[in-house]
Amino acid sequence: MRIFLIVFIYINISVSGMVLAADTHVDPHWTYHEQYKWNLLIDRLYSPPYPYAECGIGQKQSPINIDSNDLDFTNDLDEIKIEYGKVPISLTNNGHTVRVNISQGLLYIGKYKYQLVQVHFHSPSEHTINGKHYPIEAHFINGIDDGGLAVVGVFYEIGMFNPEFDKILKEAPKANNMTITKDDFIDLNKLLPHNTEDFYTYFGSLTTPPCSEGIQWLLLKETVPISIDQIEEFKTKYYQNNVRKEQKLNGRKIDTH
């Protein structure tokens, strides 16, 4: 199955804080506690006044639960290839998550090439596997020239200490709306599992306003170990429960590779 993305997204979208618009524009304020009202957010840059209505009326929203007993096994599903590597440390606390700002990195889905633009984290995981939440879920956001987005989701669970994740914990700003850069690097490969070839995939949406649909989700099956102390540090120092509630499938099928 050839994976091809056609995404209609507001020019000024916010991908968990990544603003693709003029610096003078400020996105509407929102919280996870009031996610039931995201569809009513007003952004005066747009007309009609409710550009985030998709958060309430969208039929292909994310996150979802992955039921391993209800999957499509498609033989001709496109393979993925991840080429991320090391990136300079640039970390932002945007009031909703901790974000790694990216200047390089590629994702290939079949013959299509995507540019990695950022990584951010949710605790606990937004997606669930057979109803199970993982302690942390990372979202690697990738874009293509036609405006399409593909998100690689990675689940973190209790295991060994992870030195690269610790760099994020030690360097990311505690205060909201701040960015810190350091003369050092984060090896993104150490934030990925060894096996990146096995994944679940479906079409969904951004999990934050404007909840734009048409997003290709690629949820890696193998998890990444981090220590319980690192999990607790992220939750106490930064964020816990920065998750959107589970969304309905509405007839969508989940493919597996």
pLDDT (tens digit per residue) in 192-220 = 999 999 999 999 999 999 999 999 999 99
| Sign of the dihedral through C-alpha 125, 168, 158, 234 | negative
What pLDDT score was predicted for residue 28?
83
pLDDT value of position 42: 87
Q: Once rounded to an integer, what is the mean pLDDT over residues 228-234?
A: 98
Asked if 50 and 37 touch (Cβ cutoff 8 Å), the reply is no
Which position among 96, 120, 133, 139 bears the catalytic label?
A: 96
Q: Average pLDDT, whole number, for the chain?
A: 89
Band of pLDDT at residue 9, cut at 50, 70 and 90: very low
CA atoms lying within 13 Å on the CB side of residue 131: 1
Q: What is the pLDDT of residue 18?
A: 39
**Positive or negative: CA dihedral 22, 28, 29, 32:** negative
Question: Distance between CA atoms of 144 and 127, rounded to whole angstroms?
Answer: 24
pLDDT score recorded for residue 77: 76
Classify the phi-psi angles of 179: left when phi > 0, otherwise alpha if psi is within -120 to 50, otherwise beta.
Answer: beta
Q: Residue 165 corresponds to which tokens in the numbers above?
A: 């994740």
Distances (CA, A) of 244 to 31, 155, 193, 248: 10, 16, 24, 12
Tens-place pLDDT, residues 39-89: 999 887 776 668 899 999 999 999 999 999 988 877 677 899 999 999 999
User: Where do the H-state alpha helices sit in the chain?
Assistant: 54-57, 163-171, 228-237
Q: What is the Cα–Cα distance from 257 to 249, expressed in whole angstroms?
A: 19
Would you say residue 13 has pLDDT above 90?
no
Q: Would you say residue 154 has pLDDT above 60? A: yes
Distance CA 85, CA 105 (A): 7
Q: What pLDDT shows up at residue 198?
A: 94
Specify the pLDDT at position 44: 75
Percent of the chain with pLDDT over 90: 79
96 is catalytic: yes
Residue 6 has pLDDT above 80, yes or no: no
Q: How far apart are CA 117 and CA 124, in angstroms?
A: 23
Domains of the chain, residue spans? 14-256
Q: Which segment of 31-35, 50-54, 60-64, 165-169 scores lowest on mean pLDDT?
A: 50-54
How large is the average pLDDT for residues 250-255? 94
Q: Which amino acid is at 73?
A: F
For residue 40, the 8-state DSSP code is G
DSSP state for residue 243 in the 8-state scheme: -
- CATH number for region 14-256: 3.10.200.10
